[in-house]
Chain A
Amino acid sequence: AQSVTQPDIHITVSEGASLELRCNYSYGATPYLFWYVQSPGQGLQLLLKYFSGDTLVQGIKGFEAEFKRSQSSFNLRKPSVHWSDAAEYFCAVDTSGTYKYIFGTGTRLKVLA
Protein backbone atom coordinates (compact mmCIF):
# COMPACT_ATOMS: atom_id res chain seq x y z
CA ALA A 1 0.00 0.00 0.00
CA GLN A 2 1.10 3.53 -0.68
CA SER A 3 2.40 5.44 2.32
CA VAL A 4 3.96 8.73 3.26
CA THR A 5 6.60 8.99 5.95
CA GLN A 6 7.65 12.09 7.78
CA PRO A 7 10.36 10.72 10.04
CA ASP A 8 10.70 13.78 12.25
CA ILE A 9 7.77 14.30 14.62
CA HIS A 10 9.28 17.44 16.15
CA ILE A 11 11.99 19.79 14.93
CA THR A 12 13.37 22.81 16.77
CA VAL A 13 15.45 25.45 15.04
CA SER A 14 16.65 28.90 15.94
CA GLU A 15 15.24 31.89 14.14
CA GLY A 16 17.38 32.66 11.12
CA ALA A 17 18.66 29.11 10.81
CA SER A 18 18.01 26.94 7.79
CA LEU A 19 15.34 24.26 7.79
CA GLU A 20 14.80 20.95 6.07
CA LEU A 21 11.75 18.77 6.67
CA ARG A 22 11.86 15.27 5.31
CA CYS A 23 9.20 13.40 3.39
CA ASN A 24 9.45 9.96 1.82
CA TYR A 25 6.78 8.06 -0.05
CA SER A 26 6.33 4.54 -1.22
CA TYR A 27 4.91 4.33 -4.72
CA GLY A 28 6.21 2.93 -7.97
CA ALA A 29 5.63 5.90 -10.21
CA THR A 30 5.96 9.62 -9.56
CA PRO A 31 2.94 10.85 -7.66
CA TYR A 32 1.61 14.33 -7.28
CA LEU A 33 3.40 15.76 -4.23
CA PHE A 34 2.29 18.49 -1.86
CA TRP A 35 3.38 20.29 1.28
CA TYR A 36 0.79 21.92 3.52
CA VAL A 37 1.24 24.01 6.66
CA GLN A 38 -1.17 24.08 9.58
CA SER A 39 -1.00 26.74 12.28
CA PRO A 40 -2.47 25.78 15.67
CA GLY A 41 -6.22 25.39 15.48
CA GLN A 42 -6.31 26.27 11.81
CA GLY A 43 -6.90 24.50 8.54
CA LEU A 44 -4.25 23.46 6.03
CA GLN A 45 -2.63 25.95 3.68
CA LEU A 46 -0.88 24.79 0.53
CA LEU A 47 2.81 25.72 0.47
CA LEU A 48 3.82 24.13 -2.83
CA LYS A 49 3.23 21.20 -5.16
CA TYR A 50 5.05 19.09 -7.72
CA PHE A 51 3.73 17.15 -10.72
CA SER A 52 6.50 17.08 -13.26
CA GLY A 53 9.30 19.13 -14.77
CA ASP A 54 11.85 21.01 -12.71
CA THR A 55 12.48 18.98 -9.57
CA LEU A 56 13.04 22.08 -7.46
CA VAL A 57 9.77 23.88 -6.83
CA GLN A 58 9.22 27.21 -5.19
CA GLY A 59 6.33 27.90 -2.88
CA ILE A 60 4.89 30.61 -0.74
CA LYS A 61 6.52 32.12 2.33
CA GLY A 62 10.02 31.47 1.01
CA PHE A 63 9.73 27.68 1.04
CA GLU A 64 11.05 25.35 -1.62
CA ALA A 65 11.05 21.60 -2.06
CA GLU A 66 13.12 19.21 -4.11
CA PHE A 67 11.83 16.01 -5.64
CA LYS A 68 14.38 13.21 -5.79
CA ARG A 69 13.06 10.21 -7.67
CA SER A 70 15.96 7.96 -6.71
CA GLN A 71 15.25 8.53 -3.04
CA SER A 72 11.45 8.75 -3.29
CA SER A 73 11.73 11.97 -1.35
CA PHE A 74 10.21 15.42 -1.45
CA ASN A 75 11.96 17.42 1.24
CA LEU A 76 10.88 20.91 2.21
CA ARG A 77 13.48 23.60 2.79
CA LYS A 78 13.76 27.19 3.86
CA PRO A 79 17.08 29.05 4.05
CA SER A 80 16.18 31.28 7.00
CA VAL A 81 13.34 30.46 9.38
CA HIS A 82 11.15 33.14 10.91
CA TRP A 83 9.32 32.83 14.23
CA SER A 84 6.02 32.88 12.33
CA ASP A 85 6.97 29.61 10.62
CA ALA A 86 6.26 27.70 13.82
CA ALA A 87 3.48 25.33 12.83
CA GLU A 88 2.85 21.76 11.76
CA TYR A 89 3.87 20.70 8.28
CA PHE A 90 2.25 17.91 6.32
CA CYS A 91 3.50 16.15 3.25
CA ALA A 92 0.84 14.60 1.02
CA VAL A 93 0.83 12.49 -2.14
CA ASP A 94 -1.78 11.77 -4.75
CA THR A 95 -0.73 8.54 -6.42
CA SER A 96 -3.54 8.19 -8.90
CA GLY A 97 -4.20 11.75 -9.99
CA THR A 98 -7.71 11.41 -8.60
CA TYR A 99 -7.31 13.72 -5.63
CA LYS A 100 -6.92 10.76 -3.26
CA TYR A 101 -4.45 12.37 -0.93
CA ILE A 102 -2.41 10.35 1.51
CA PHE A 103 -1.01 12.50 4.28
CA GLY A 104 2.02 11.97 6.43
CA THR A 105 1.71 12.25 10.18
CA GLY A 106 3.20 15.72 10.20
CA THR A 107 6.27 17.47 11.58
CA ARG A 108 5.80 20.07 14.28
CA LEU A 109 8.26 22.94 13.94
CA LYS A 110 9.30 25.01 16.91
CA VAL A 111 11.30 28.19 16.36
CA LEU A 112 13.53 29.58 19.09
CA ALA A 113 13.98 33.33 19.33
Chain B
Amino acid sequence: EAEVAQSPRYKITEKSQAVAFWCDPISGHATLYWYRQILGQGPELLVQFQDESVVDDSQLPKDRFSAERLKGVDSTLKIQPAELGDSAMYLCASSTDGLESGNTIYFGEGSWLTVV
Protein backbone atom coordinates (compact mmCIF):
# COMPACT_ATOMS: atom_id res chain seq x y z
CA GLU B 1 0.00 0.00 0.00
CA ALA B 2 1.33 3.44 -0.94
CA GLU B 3 2.44 5.60 1.95
CA VAL B 4 3.34 9.16 2.73
CA ALA B 5 7.08 9.30 3.37
CA GLN B 6 8.63 11.71 5.85
CA SER B 7 12.13 12.42 7.04
CA PRO B 8 13.78 12.72 9.40
CA ARG B 9 11.71 10.76 11.90
CA TYR B 10 13.43 12.39 14.84
CA LYS B 11 15.27 15.67 15.13
CA ILE B 12 16.81 17.39 18.12
CA THR B 13 17.89 20.94 17.56
CA GLU B 14 19.02 23.83 19.66
CA LYS B 15 16.93 26.91 20.12
CA SER B 16 17.51 29.50 17.38
CA GLN B 17 18.80 26.93 14.91
CA ALA B 18 17.13 26.10 11.61
CA VAL B 19 15.41 22.79 10.97
CA ALA B 20 13.73 21.30 7.93
CA PHE B 21 11.37 18.40 7.30
CA TRP B 22 10.74 16.64 4.03
CA CYS B 23 7.62 14.89 2.79
CA ASP B 24 6.82 12.80 -0.26
CA PRO B 25 3.07 12.24 -0.64
CA ILE B 26 1.31 9.25 -2.10
CA SER B 27 1.88 9.20 -5.83
CA GLY B 28 -0.84 11.07 -7.68
CA HIS B 29 -2.14 12.94 -4.66
CA ALA B 30 -2.48 16.57 -5.63
CA THR B 31 -3.17 17.87 -2.14
CA LEU B 32 -0.51 17.91 0.54
CA TYR B 33 -0.85 18.99 4.15
CA TRP B 34 1.47 19.78 7.02
CA TYR B 35 -0.01 19.33 10.49
CA ARG B 36 1.51 20.03 13.88
CA GLN B 37 0.63 17.80 16.82
CA ILE B 38 1.62 18.93 20.26
CA LEU B 39 1.90 16.16 22.83
CA GLY B 40 -1.50 15.32 24.24
CA GLN B 41 -3.45 17.15 21.55
CA GLY B 42 -4.94 16.43 18.17
CA PRO B 43 -3.23 17.51 14.95
CA GLU B 44 -3.72 21.07 13.74
CA LEU B 45 -3.33 22.14 10.14
CA LEU B 46 -0.38 24.40 9.38
CA VAL B 47 -0.50 24.57 5.60
CA GLN B 48 -2.33 22.97 2.68
CA PHE B 49 -1.07 22.76 -0.89
CA GLN B 50 -2.99 22.03 -4.04
CA ASP B 51 -0.28 20.99 -6.49
CA GLU B 52 2.38 23.67 -6.02
CA SER B 53 0.03 26.36 -4.73
CA VAL B 54 -0.72 27.19 -1.14
CA VAL B 55 -4.47 27.10 -0.53
CA ASP B 56 -4.46 27.58 3.24
CA ASP B 57 -1.63 28.78 5.43
CA SER B 58 -3.73 30.74 7.88
CA GLN B 59 -2.34 28.84 10.89
CA LEU B 60 1.29 28.87 9.77
CA PRO B 61 3.48 31.18 11.93
CA LYS B 62 4.98 32.91 8.95
CA ASP B 63 7.61 34.81 10.90
CA ARG B 64 9.53 31.59 11.43
CA PHE B 65 7.85 28.84 9.42
CA SER B 66 7.93 28.37 5.68
CA ALA B 67 6.71 25.62 3.41
CA GLU B 68 7.19 24.92 -0.25
CA ARG B 69 6.16 22.39 -2.83
CA LEU B 70 8.03 23.66 -5.84
CA LYS B 71 7.19 20.96 -8.38
CA GLY B 72 3.88 19.97 -6.91
CA VAL B 73 5.18 16.66 -5.60
CA ASP B 74 7.37 16.57 -2.51
CA SER B 75 7.43 19.32 0.07
CA THR B 76 9.69 20.88 2.68
CA LEU B 77 8.67 22.55 5.92
CA LYS B 78 11.28 24.81 7.47
CA ILE B 79 11.50 26.44 10.87
CA GLN B 80 13.99 29.25 11.43
CA PRO B 81 14.76 30.05 14.14
CA ALA B 82 13.40 27.17 16.19
CA GLU B 83 11.88 27.97 19.57
CA LEU B 84 11.25 25.73 22.56
CA GLY B 85 7.52 25.83 21.89
CA ASP B 86 8.02 24.29 18.47
CA SER B 87 8.70 20.90 20.04
CA ALA B 88 6.01 18.69 18.54
CA MET B 89 5.33 16.06 15.93
CA TYR B 90 5.06 17.39 12.40
CA LEU B 91 2.78 15.26 10.29
CA CYS B 92 2.61 15.32 6.54
CA ALA B 93 -0.49 14.04 4.80
CA SER B 94 -1.94 13.84 1.33
CA SER B 95 -5.24 13.34 -0.42
CA THR B 96 -6.72 13.03 -3.86
CA ASP B 97 -9.92 14.44 -5.23
CA GLY B 98 -10.95 11.25 -6.92
CA LEU B 99 -14.45 9.97 -6.21
CA GLU B 100 -13.04 6.93 -4.50
CA SER B 101 -11.11 9.01 -1.99
CA GLY B 102 -14.11 9.81 0.18
CA ASN B 103 -12.51 12.98 1.52
CA THR B 104 -9.87 10.86 3.17
CA ILE B 105 -6.51 12.24 4.23
CA TYR B 106 -3.61 9.80 4.53
CA PHE B 107 -0.91 10.57 7.07
CA GLY B 108 2.78 9.84 7.20
CA GLU B 109 4.64 8.51 10.23
CA GLY B 110 5.50 12.00 11.39
CA SER B 111 8.68 13.83 12.31
CA TRP B 112 9.36 14.39 15.99
CA LEU B 113 11.05 17.68 16.78
CA THR B 114 12.64 18.43 20.13
CA VAL B 115 14.04 21.92 20.63
CA VAL B 116 16.52 22.22 23.49
Interface residues of chain A, those whose CB is within 8 Å of chain B, are 4, 32, 34, 36, 41-46, 49, 51, 90, 92, 94, 97, 99-101, 103-106
Contact = CB atoms under 8 A, between A and B. Distances in A.
A51 B45 CA distance: 21
Given A42-B110, A45-B107, 13 more contacts: A32-B102, A32-B103, A34-B104, A41-B110, A43-B6, A43-B108, A44-B107, A49-B102, A51-B103, A92-B42, A101-B43, A101-B105, A106-B40
Interface residues on B, range: 20 to 34
Contacts of B48: 99
A4 B107 CA distance: 19
Interface of A is mostly: strand
B106 A46 contact: yes
Contacts of A105: 40-42
A44 B31 CA distance: 17
B103 A43 contact: no
Given A42-B110, A44-B91, A99-B95, A90 B105 contact: no
A37 to B, nearest CB: 11
B34 interface: no
19 contacts: A32-B103, A36-B107, A42-B110, A45-B107, A46-B106, A51-B102, A51-B103, A90-B42, A90-B43, A97-B103, A99-B31, A99-B95, A99-B105, A100-B45, A101-B45, A101-B105, A104-B42, A105-B40, A105-B41
A43 B31 contact: no
A90 B112 CA distance: 19
Interface in B84-116: 91, 95, 102-110, 112
Nearest to B110: A43
Contacts of A103: 42-44
A106 B42 contact: yes
Contacts of A104: 42
Contacts of B107: 36, 43-45
Contacts of B6: 43
A99 B103 contact: yes
Contacts of B45: 100-101
